[in-house]
Each structure stands twice: as C-alpha cells, then as structure tokens.
C-alpha cells in the first residue's frame, strides 16, 4: 500500500511542478523545458527533479540555475497545491534525454530510408 501512495504523490508532484513552471517569469526557465523524471525519497522529504530542454544540455543547465533561484517560490506553491504534511526539499538536475531521444529517432528514420532505397 505504501508504494501506491508513493507513486501517486510522485505523479502529483510532477503534475503540479509542470503547472508551476509555466507561472515562472524567469527567462532562463521560459521555453521548451520539460520534467523528465521525479524521484521522491521514501519519507517524502527529498525530491530530485530531472529537467531536459529541446535546445540541449546547456539550455537545461541554464533552466536549472533559474529553478534553483526560484526554489523557495516553487516549494511554497507546491505546499499550497498539494495536501502534504511536509513539502519535500527540491533539487534540480539537468539531463539531455530529449536531445538523446531526438537523435535516436533521427537515426531510425535514416535507417528506414536506407531500407526502402530512398536517399
């Protein structure tokens, strides 16, 4: 039963963080950034948020700097939106998974074109 609650809280945090990110006015956070994964500790006191950007890893790192500066606002908003006893301590990490996925898709498309004999 505890794993069900943990998974539900993780999904709720991810959903609410996405909505909160849209409200942020920091230009470093604006643009095509997305939350790839959210890891919440078992006692719900720590939360690691993995951020990716379509523009690449450097853009994701800039977004992480903006999110770290707005950490207090984000935690406050999260606390008002979710009925949690204790709002988890947030840490943000940059990842290049969107760029990596787009690269894999490009390679697959090239292989499909070669298979069908198209240039």
Q: CATH no. for residue 28?
A: 3.30.300.20
Residue 40 pairs in a beta bridge with 47
Alpha carbon distance 51, 34 (integer Å): 6
Per-residue pLDDT for 1 more than 50?
no
Average pLDDT over the chain, rounded to an integer:
89
Domain, as residue range, for 103: 2-115
Q: How far is CA 62 from CA 56, 114, 117, in A?
A: 10, 38, 42
Token pair of 70, please? 């707005």
Tally of domains within the chain: 1
pLDDT tens for residues 3-41? 788 889 999 999 999 999 999 998 988 888 889 999 999
């Amino acid at each position: 039963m505890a794993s069900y609650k943990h998974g539900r809280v993780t999904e709720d945090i991810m959903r609410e963080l996405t909505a909160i990110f849209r409200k942020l006015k920091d230009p470093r956070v604006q643009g095509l950034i997305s939350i790839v994964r959210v890891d919440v500790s078992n006692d719900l006191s720590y939360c690691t948020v993995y951020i990716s950007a379509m523009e690449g890893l450097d853009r994701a790192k800039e977004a992480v700097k903006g999110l770290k500066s707005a950490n207090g606002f984000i935690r406050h908003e999260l606390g008002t939106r979710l009925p949690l006893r204790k709002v988890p301590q947030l840490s943000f990490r940059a990842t290049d998974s969107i760029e990596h996925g787009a690269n894999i898709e490009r390679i697959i498309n090239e292989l499909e074109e070669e298979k069908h004999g198209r240039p």
